Amino acid sequence: MLIQERIKKLKQEKKALILAHYYEEGEIQDIADFVGDSYQLSLHGQNSNHPIILMAGVIFMAESVKMLSPDKVVLAPDLNAGCSLVEASPYASYLKWRQDHPHAIAVTYINSSAQVKAISDVIVTSSNAQQIIEAIPPDRQILFGPDKNLGQYFKRTLNRDLLLWNGSCEVHVLFSAQKLYQLIQEYPQARVLAHPECEENVLQYAHTIGSTSRLLAEVKESPHTHFIVATETGIFHQMQKVRPDAVIRQAPTETETCGCNNCPYMKLNTLEKIEQALIHLSPRISVSPAVAEFAKRPLDRMIEITQGKSVSWPSHFQLPPF
Ligand code: CIZ
């Protein structure tokens, strides 16, 4: 039996739901019940009736699913699937930053640890950050972390004075603006699509800047047939599925042979590890209940604002008791 069929059988036996992020390998996306960005994946997990969720993505995504669905067993195929933004925002220094600005609202990218979420006021993804920043009263100071490029992008486009944390995504900073410029000269008919985690010198060439789901929608709906895409390569699988006629090129990185636009953490997941995780119902994601209680509040606030509800904001920072 093929591994794909064995996984399908295990999924049914164990009543498990497989969620996969757009940055996973195509073969993993193809065995998933749902493929999406981290916001869509968290909601899908929360709204499902399955007692077991296998999250093929990185650990902060699996933690978000677990915190929003605490009664479900959440499996991660490889516990080493970290994130450079999580590493760039250690709890102790993020907490100091928060304490240095006690009256600011802390807007934290979902690419962060559960502990950092727990000391934040609202979580954002690249698909809903604009809506969430716009929902914050204009007289409130905003801390935005841990991705400085994403923050810089919203600072410029929303004309809002965000204080930025100094972190970045190790994949998105490797695109080369100079080589992108050269590629555009070669293919002037191509539309350039870029993720806002890229640096500004790359974003300046983009016709469309947006989250994975936004860039995918652009490819699907655009009358153009040529695209140059500056984000992680996993998304190409869905882009090519929705537009088999389109030519989709990777934006170039400084070193051409490095495969630098593949996220090494996302790519730790394999079909074999997924099969093993379903057989043994392990590795499981756990978040300490004290941290989860506080981290769920900014996650809930994100969902409420994204769904068009109005929310209240704390007047100042209070250190959670964990
Ligand atoms: O929010 C996500 O899933 C990430 C990491 C990127 C995006 O733009 O969707």
Check residue 258 and give its pLDDT. Answer: 77
pLDDT digits (tens, 9 = 90+) for 32-46: 999 999 999 999 999
Amino acid letter at 208?
Answer: T
Cβ neighbours around 48 below 10 Å, total: 17
Q: What would the two tokens of residue 75 be?
A: 């499996």
Residue of 86, 125, 197, 203 best suited for mutating to test ligand 1, as the one with most atoms within 8 Å of CB:
125
Q: Name the nearest CA neighbour of 267 among 23, 17, 31.
A: 23
Share of the chain above pLDDT 90, in %: 97
Q: What's the pTM?
A: 0.97
pLDDT tens digits for range 137-187: 999 999 999 999 999 999 999 999 999 999 999 999 999 999 999 999 999
Whether the pLDDT of residue 87 is over 80: the answer is yes
Only one residue has tokens 């790519």, namely 267
Q: In this structure, what token pair is assigned to residue 6?
A: 């064995």
Determine phi and psi for 143, rounding to 5 degrees. Answer: -100, 130
Distance 13 CA to ligand 1 centre (A): 31
pLDDT at 95 over 80: yes
**Closest residue by CA, ligand 1 atom 8:** 211
Report how far ligand 1's centroid is from the alpha carbon of 114 (Å). 17
What's the rounded mean pLDDT across residues 74-79? 98
Complete DSSP assignment for 60-89: HHHHHHHHHSTTSEEE-S-TT---HHHHTS
**DSSP per-residue codes, 145-188:** ESBHHHHHHHHHHHT--EEE--B--TTGGGB-HHHHHHHHHH-T
Q: Which residues' Cβ are closer than 6 Å to ligand 1?
A: 21, 37-38, 110-111, 125-127, 195, 211-212
Task: Indicate if the pLDDT at residue 24 is higher than 80.
Answer: yes
pLDDT the model gives residue 259:
77
- Identify the DSSP state of 48: -
Q: Which of 203, 189, 217 is nearest to 251 (CA)?
A: 203
Q: Which of 127-141, 222-236, 254-268, 291-305 has the lowest mean pLDDT?
A: 254-268
Structure confidence at residue 260 (pLDDT): 82
- Smallest CA separation from ligand 1 atom 1, residue: 38
The ligand 1 atom nearest the CA atom of 36: 3
104, two tokens:
């600011």
Q: Is residue 92 over pLDDT 80?
A: yes
Per-residue confidence band for 322, with pLDDT thresholds at 50, 70 and 90: confident
Q: At residue 124, does pLDDT exceed 90?
A: yes
Of 11, 17, 18, nearest in space to 269 by CA? 18
Residue pair 164/148 in contact by the 8 Å Cβ criterion: yes
Ligand 1 centroid to 37 CA: how many Å?
Answer: 5
Centre of ligand 1 from the C-alpha of residue 57, in Å:
11
The residue-averaged pLDDT of 286-306 equals 97
pLDDT of 52 higher than 80: yes
Percent of the chain with pLDDT over 70: 100
Distance (angstroms) between ligand 1 centre and the Cα of 236 equals 14
- The average confidence (pLDDT) of the chain is 97
What is the Å distance from ligand 1's center to 126 Cα? 6
Mutate to test the pocket of ligand 1, among 37, 168, 172 (most ligand atoms within 8 A of CB): 37
Place of tokens 């978040």: 287
| Mean pLDDT calculated for residue range 289-293 | 96
Q: How far is the CA of 61 from the centre of ligand 1 (A)?
A: 10
Residue of 211, 218, 229, 303 with the most ligand 1 atoms within 8 Å of its CB, for mutation: 211
Sign of CA dihedral 170, 171, 176, 177: negative
pLDDT, one tens digit per residue, over 236-289 is 999 999 999 999 999 999 887 777 889 999 999 999 999 999 999 999 999 999
Which atom number of ligand 1 is nearest to the Cα of residue 111? 5
| Residues forming a β-bridge with 145 | 108
* 23 Cα distance to chain centroid: 9
b (16+ CB within 10 A) / e for 268-302: bbbbebbbbbbeeeebebebeeebbbbbbbbbebb
What atom in ligand 1 is closest to the CA of residue 210? 8
Q: Ligand 1 mean position to 304 CA, how many Å?
A: 19
Distance 172 CA to ligand 1 centre (A): 12
Direct distance between the N- and C-terminal alpha carbons of the chain, in angstroms, rounded to an integer: 48
What pLDDT, on a 0 to 100 scale, did the predictor assign at position 255?
84
Q: Where are the beta strands (DSSP E) in 219-308?
A: 226-230, 247-250
